[in-house]
């Protein structure tokens, strides 16, 4: 499923700007009220690259840049084993999915999961992962990217044996 950042912002996480305040309106994730999200939100950086953190109107959400260069939502559904590209950055594993000009990063092995949608022409995925990684580490990790690769390999072995 490929969507641009503007589609994400308009379709599910609508961003709007107030006259002077520039408050971003972002749809909260289903588990935004999870107490672990409070710890994540309190540890978020004030900037990602050249983009400043803006005020939002939803629990456990953050936006950097005006217009948005990065949108974070804590409390998204944790992904299960996946064949998507998984990257480990500064102690946090991320599933990385390219969606048109944007990327969706979802923390892997943590419940609740944290999702960051990036306009990669304005902020590098590596910059975003490094910037929010310390905050995401506030959610206990119970799986790693390596475990995903092992589970997929074991599943493939089982399929081969069954044939």
- Tens-digit pLDDT profile for residues 52-93: 999 999 999 999 999 999 999 999 999 998 899 999 998 999
Given this model, what pLDDT does residue 56 score?
97
The structural domains of the chain, with segments of one domain joined by +, span 5-162
Q: Which residue is listed with tokens 């480990």?
A: 88
- Whole-model pTM? 0.79
Distances in Å between the Cα of 17 and the Cα atoms of 20, 68, 80, 157 are 8, 10, 35, 52
Name the β-bridge partners of 102: 99, 119
Residues 6+ positions from 16 with CB-CB distance below 8 Å: 23, 24, 25
Distances in Å between the Cα of 108 and the Cα atoms of 21, 56, 132, 158 are 34, 25, 14, 24
Q: Kindly give the parts of the chain with pLDDT less than 50.
A: 1-4, 6-21, 148-153, 155-163
Given this model, what pLDDT does residue 106 score?
98
Given this model, what pLDDT does residue 4 score?
45
């Amino acid at each position: 499923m490929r969507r641009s950042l503007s589609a994400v912002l308009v379709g599910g996480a609508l961003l709007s700007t107030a006259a002077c305040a520039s408050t971003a309106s972002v749809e909260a994730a289903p588990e935004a009220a999870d107490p672990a999200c409070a710890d994540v939100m309190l540890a978020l950086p004030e900037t990602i690259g050249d983009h400043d953190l803006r005020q939002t109107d939803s629990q456990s959400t953050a936006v950097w840049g005006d217009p948005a260069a990065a949108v974070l939502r804590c409390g998204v559904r944790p992904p299960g084993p996946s064949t998507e590209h998984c990257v480990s950055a500064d102690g946090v594993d991320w599933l990385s999915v390219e969606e048109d000009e944007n990327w969706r990063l979802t923390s892997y092995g943590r419940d609740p999961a944290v999702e960051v949608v990036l306009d990669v022409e304005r902020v590098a995925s590596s910059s975003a992962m490094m910037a929010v990684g310390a905050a995401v580490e506030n959610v206990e990790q119970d799986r790693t990217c390596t475990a995903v690769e092992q589970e997929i390999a074991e599943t493939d072995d089982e399929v081969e044996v069954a044939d």
